Amino acid sequence: MPARKREYDEDDVRIRPGRSSRPRTRTRPKHDDAVDALVITVDRGRYGCVREDGGGTEVITAMRARELGRKSVVVGDRVALVGDSSGAAGTLARIVRISERTSVLRRTADDDDTTPEGRLERVVVANADQLVIVSALSDPPPRTGFIDRCLVAAYDADIEPLLCLTKADLAGPEQVLGYYAELDLPHVLVRPGSDLDELRGRLAGRISVLVGHSGVGKSTLVNRLVPDALRAVGVVSAIGKGRHTSTSAVALRLPPVGKSRKDPGWIIDTPGIRSFGLAHVSAESLLHGFPDLVEGTLEDQPNCGHTAADGDCRLDAWVAEGKADERRLVSYRRLLSSRAGEGDVRDNIAEEV
């Protein structure tokens, strides 16, 4: 008797799901065991970090996790690390989280906002509390144009400025301080061989960014504040090709003073930053660096650009009445012109005091 042919039904059919129908999830690991750390240097995709929980002082080499996407990591960022966080040679951790930044110090590549390069914003450092503007009183003479730019950048980032005047043995600070008298700008004077107690007191418990032109004594100041700065830079530079370039920022832990248990703070040396392009700062925000001129603009027409071409600008009368220094108005208008791309007005040709 011939075998009976089997009849199939739908239960016998197996359907393989297509790729597009496979379930997907955006669930990411929580990384509850991640270690909190501070980024102290960045070098070609490798990040030098130190633990913030007191679990060690070794520099941990880390890379950015793919799950962070295109989020940038800069010096000063507080991050979470997974993987090998021992800091031993040849080990590598991963940065899986970036904490919300309390402040962001930015600069623009150039002051010309008519070109893509001129509109390019660059984050200098994150989470800084203070911007220390280092300027010599002589050799080279102080450049108020550079100081003004730094002040605008600091106020725009909501960072407190501190003016550090070096080489006070060669010239007095009266002219510079007089120029900024209306701002009540905090300052410290530094002489060769003088103690740095006042400066250390202002740095304690903070993350401070140091900026200054070549020759003003910033490197000497850093080496005095952190006696083993050169050795520390050598350690953190080893995460890349073993060199510390003049375009990279590095955070250095200040040594404790005596037996004090107070946090001595951090300084971030920025050897490659000699100017701040301000194209990313609006014309109105530029006034943040000139609070002595703000009241003089209140009676202006809403569309007044406050430039020399605005014949009815109230600022001219404000200065004529002795309510502000004329040099301050000149500096403000210089920045306005530079931001608009009118001429090549750079910090290295700023007028001297």
Q: Write the pLDDT tens digit of every residue in 193-246.
A: 889 999 999 999 999 999 998 889 898 899 999 988 764 554 554 444 444 434
Percent of the chain with pLDDT over 90: 37
Confidence category of residue 1, pLDDT binned at 50, 70, 90: low
Question: Which residues carry a binding-site annotation for GTP?
Answer: 166-169, 212-220
Question: Which residues carry a binding-site annotation?
Answer: 166-169, 212-220
Q: Is the pLDDT of residue 127 over 90?
A: yes
Segment 128-147 shows an average pLDDT of 93
Q: Supply the pLDDT for residue 304.
A: 84
Altogether, the residues listed in the chain come to a count of 353
Percent of the chain with pLDDT over 70: 76
Apex 30 CA angle, 25 and 31, nearest 5: 135
Q: Is the pLDDT of residue 159 over 90?
A: yes
Question: What is the C-alpha separation between 282 and 76, in angstroms, rounded?
Answer: 25
Q: Is the dihedral of CA 268, 182, 288, 350 positive or negative?
A: negative
Question: What is the C-alpha separation between 286 and 278, in angstroms, rounded?
Answer: 8
What digits encode the pLDDT tens for the residues 3-48? 666 666 666 666 666 665 555 556 667 787 899 999 999 988 899 9
Q: What global pTM score does this model have?
A: 0.78
Tokens of 315: 């600022």
